[in-house]
A and B are shown apart, each in its own frame.
Chain A
Amino acid sequence: MVLKRVFQSSHSLFVIFHSDSKGEQNETEARVQSMIAVTVTSSLKSKVQRNKLATAGEAIEYRCLIRATDGKKTISTSVGPKDHQRFQASYATILKAHMTALKKRERKDKKKPAEADKREGSSKRPKKS
């Protein structure tokens, strides 16, 4: 189980995948043991940088630092205000694809036979003229 950086449309993207190419069984086995942590922080932390920008009269360009780790390997990327929506969309797609262990809501769509019988028995009202 490794984390790899994939460059898609000029920015980094986190993809979880298994390095072995022996088939789906290995991938599922690897995924069962997996844990992933993604940290999002504001990357303009340096006070010196901010003071420089403030004294120069330039607008502060905020950047977002994203780090992902599986406990062994860590990857990171910095996203600017222009790229953040594109990154977010791709990131959301990956999360949806890989978070398969979460429970799906159980819908009670099965109608009881008693209710069905009642519906069949009841006659429809005639339309008002």
Chain B
Amino acid sequence: MVYITEWDKFVEQSIELFRADPDSTRYVMKYRHCDGKLVLKVTDNRQCLKYKTDQAQEAKKMEKLNNMFFALMARGPDVDLSEVTGKEQMDAQPTKKGRGRKQ
């Protein structure tokens, strides 16, 4: 069991793990309200990756990972994840307001 501190590494490694063995890989989210902690776990019964947080900001990142895993599991491991994340990024970008002409 490995606790990964960096979010990007956790996402990268967990997707690699799933693609290596899609049939036996599972993704678990455990939330304890009394501790105010959220633990994410991706395992294939041989290797186990975990990520722990208590920040509300991380819940948004977790939402993206959820979306990725739902896509991988419901559409198959060969799905292009750039479509999944790309859509979200497009939606998240606010419309830029012009500040007038630069002097």
Contacts and interface: CB of A to CB of B under 8 A. Distances in A.
A83 B76 CA distance: 14
Contact of B31 (A35, A80, A83): A35
A36 B66 contact: no
- Most chain A CB within 10 A, of B24, B54, B69, B74, is at B74
Interface string A94-121: 0110011111110000000000000000
Interface string B61-73: 0110011011101
B54 A41 contact: no
B97 interface: no
A102 B29 contact: no
A103 B76 contact: no
Contact of B66 (A81, A92, A99): A92
Given A39-B26, A102-B55, A88 B75 contact: no
Nearest to A102: B56
- What class of interface size applies to chain B in its complex with A? 35 or more
Contacts of A92: 63, 66-67
Interface string A55-85: 0000010111000000000000001110111
B90 interface: no
Interface residues of A, number: 39
A34 B38 CA distance: 12
Interface string B27-64: 11111111110100000000000000111111100110
Contacts of A101: 33-36
A99 B75 contact: no
Nearest to B24: A45
B71 to A, nearest CB: 7
Interface of A: 31-45, 60, 62-64, 79-81, 83-85, 87-88, 91-92, 95-96, 99-105, 127
Given A39-B27, A81-B74, A92-B66, 20 more contacts: A35-B30, A35-B32, A36-B31, A37-B29, A37-B30, A38-B28, A39-B26, A87-B70, A88-B66, A88-B67, A88-B70, A95-B59, A96-B59, A96-B63, A101-B34, A101-B36, A102-B38, A102-B53, A102-B59, A105-B55
